[in-house]
Copies of this chain bind each other. A is one copy, B any other.
Amino acid sequence: MSANANAWISEPAARLDAEAAAAARARQQRLTKPPGSLGRLEDFAVQLAGCQGKALPDIKAPHITVFAGDHGIVAEGVSAYPPEVTEQMLLNFVAGGAAISVLAHEAGAHLSVVDVGSLARAVPEGVIADKIAHGSANFAAKPALSEAELTHALGAGQRAVLRAVEAGADFLLFGEMGIGNTSAAAALTAALTGRDAAEICGPGTGLAPEKVRRKAAIVSTALALHGFTGVTPPLAALRCVSGHEVAALAGAFVAAAQEGRPVLVDGFICSAAALAALRLNPGVRDWLFFSHVSAEPGHLAVLQEIGAAPILDLGMRLGEGSGAAAALPLLKLACRLHSGMATFESAGVSDKERT
């Protein structure tokens, strides 16, 4: 596998439409409310105007993609749930019983589920199989992914974006499922930021405090094994200490920006992948909205590193894209207010006294 197989990642992101954003900003000043009084809802409308290249943006066809993978690191006892849950949840996603299934239905969003590296031998009907491996290697012993697996996973992210765009998606949300993947995301975050594993590791799906300390020690030892001290380059970090679905997310964020589609980033794991994507291609930043602050302690570190201001802070820590889907109604409302409100002129309302 040549290094060139990942060359697409460096292609520039699409550019925001500054004219549309300026027109949206000007419109916000004329709507029947004190300027700025809708707070960040005004900013969301303006940013979306820049993304969509029109002064009156809207979200009509949101598309959610959940990437699933399994993790060799679970052999170290880092998760509260057994690995077969990943495959069981694939079924639950397509059967409509998972949180993200309910949220997608409520949002009128299309939900795609992509198995990019789970242990499942037979991928359930309704799930897209795009994998060349069953689970990652235990990164406490060796690199989580081979070069070929990394390239495949990044490409799976890109392929998911291209399918969504082809299907008419105007807004993208991503999620993940993978027992053990908070360990991978913690190791990735530590590698990308140079921070201590102890500062970043958390309970994930529900580890007891003494097991969280053990998880941090395992991640810390693994980082040393791979020679990761200080800030690690993103491809090396993704390959050695992430996993199939985490790398797919990073590829998806890059591809979404290249295709000019705005994205709502979910919680800790998605944000760690987004940080990797930004290191790979800084132009991605313009296309990302950050949905929420997870209860998982490492998330704040990632958000700080990115300089992101999330929309919600509700103590969620489920993954699957659930935080992104919960924040989506606020971006929709921002668009509807922006296009649906009257202006001072049209409503015959007196403007602010210019004193």
Q: Which residues of A contact B (CB under 8 A)?
A: 31-41, 80-82, 84-85, 88-89, 91-92, 95-99, 101-103, 105-106, 205-206, 208, 295, 311-318, 322, 326, 329-330, 332-333, 336-337, 340-342, 346-353, 355
Are A350's CB and B318's CB within 8 A? no
Are B329's CB and A35's CB within 8 A? no
Count chain B CB atoms within 10 A of each CB in A31, A84, A313, A314 and give the residue with the most.
A314
Contact of A98 among B39, B326, B329, B342 (CB under 8 A): B342
Count chain B CB atoms within 10 A of each CB in A33, A205, A312, A348 and give the residue with the most.
A33
10 example contacts (A-B, Cβ-Cβ < 8 A) are as follows A32-B97, A37-B316, A38-B99, A38-B316, A84-B350, A88-B349, A101-B341, A105-B340, A311-B314, A326-B330
Contact of A34 among B31, B92, B205 (CB under 8 A): B205
Complex Cα gap A210–B337 (Å): 31
Are A205's CB and B352's CB within 8 A? yes
Are B347's CB and A81's CB within 8 A? no
The smallest beta-carbon distance between A48 and chain B, in angstroms, is: 15
Contact of A352 among B38, B105, B206, B326 (CB under 8 A): B206
Q: Do most interface residues of chain A lie in helix, strand or loop, or is the interface mixed?
A: loop
The smallest beta-carbon distance between A334 and chain B, in angstroms, is: 9
Count chain B CB atoms within 10 A of each CB in A312, A313, A351 and give the residue with the most.
A312
Are B89's CB and A349's CB within 8 A? yes
Query: Which residues on B sit within 8 Å (CB–CB) of A205?
Result: 34, 37, 352
Contact of A333 among B32, B206, B311, B329 (CB under 8 A): B329
Are B32's CB and A316's CB within 8 A? no
Are B38's CB and A341's CB within 8 A? no
The smallest beta-carbon distance between A237 and chain B, in angstroms, is: 26
Query: Which residues on B sit within 8 Å (CB–CB) of A33?
Result: 98-99, 318
The smallest beta-carbon distance between A352 and chain B, in angstroms, is: 5
The smallest beta-carbon distance between A340 and chain B, in angstroms, is: 4
Are A313's CB and B316's CB within 8 A? no
Are A350's CB and B82's CB within 8 A? yes
Count chain B CB atoms within 10 A of each CB in A96, A317, A349 and give the residue with the most.
A349
Who on chain B is nearest to A211 by CB?
A: B355
Are A341's CB and B34's CB within 8 A? no
User: Closest 4 CB pairs between A and B?
Assistant: A97-B342, A39-B315, A329-B329, A37-B318
Complex Cα gap A262–B301 (Å): 37
